[in-house]
Amino acid sequence: MKRILLAALLLLASCSKSGTPDLQISGAWARETVPGQTATAAYMTIHNRGTGDDRLISVEVAAPAKAMLHASESSDGVSRMREMGGGLDLPAGAAAQLKPGGTHVMITGLGAPLRARDVMKLRLRFEKSGPSDVDVAVGAGGR
């Protein structure tokens, strides 16, 4: 019995919060593009107000474009951009900021330019909360 209790305790300690996540997505915007430019980035804040952790596992956008989670980082003055294969952790009670120069949704293969004031639809897929559609406002390039 003791051993089972210990195992359960260890499991609890190592486990993430298993309540219900409650995600709020705000401030979603993407940078406008010029004709011929097929790549852009989308940003937003994902606040998990629930009691359980969640994870953003993938992002979808209407074909022919593709969306994926990317992270920009810089060290020694060199900027690097990498795919986030493992998704983005959304711990309970915390807000994840997708912002310029950091984590962002990379959009490639745009069939037509995105103009300021356009709205782009993204579908975010979360590990626990499932899919969620987001309207992304297209904003000026210099933002």
Partner 1 sequence: MQPVRIILWALVALALAAFAILMLRPVNEMPTRQQPLAISSIGGPFTLTGSDGKPFSSTELAGKPYAIFFGFTNCPDVCPLTLGRMVKLRKELQSGDRPFEILFVTVDPERDGPADVGKYAELFNSPVTGLTGSPAQIDQVKKQFGIFSQKVPDSSRGYSVDHTATVLLFDRKGDFSGTISPEEGNKAALAKLKRITA
Q: Tell which one of 19, 27, 93, 101 touches partner 1 (CB under 8 A).
A: 101
Q: Does 35 bind partner 1 (CB under 8 A)?
A: yes
**What is the maximal distance between C-alpha atoms in the chain?**
68
**DSSP string of 30-65, one letter each residue:** EE---TT---EEEEEEEEE-SSB-EEEEEEEESTT-
Inter-residue contact 105 to 66 (CB < 8 Å)? no
Q: Tell which one of 17, 22, 38, 89 touches partner 1 (CB under 8 A).
A: 38
Q: Tell which one of 13, 77, 111, 130 touches partner 1 (CB under 8 A).
A: 77
Compose the 47-66 pattern: x for residues touching partner 1 by CB under 8 A, - for all others. -------------------x
How far is it, in rounded angstroms, from Cα 62 to Cα 81? 23
Q: Does 88 bind partner 1 (CB under 8 A)?
A: no
Q: Tell which one of 19, 27, 93, 141 touches partner 1 (CB under 8 A).
A: 141
First to last CA, the chain: 60
How far is it, in rounded angstroms, from Cα 96 to Cα 99? 9
Q: Does 137 bind partner 1 (CB under 8 A)?
A: no
Q: Which residues bind partner 1 (CB under 8 A)?
A: 31-41, 66, 68, 70, 72, 74-81, 83, 100-101, 104, 106-109, 140-143
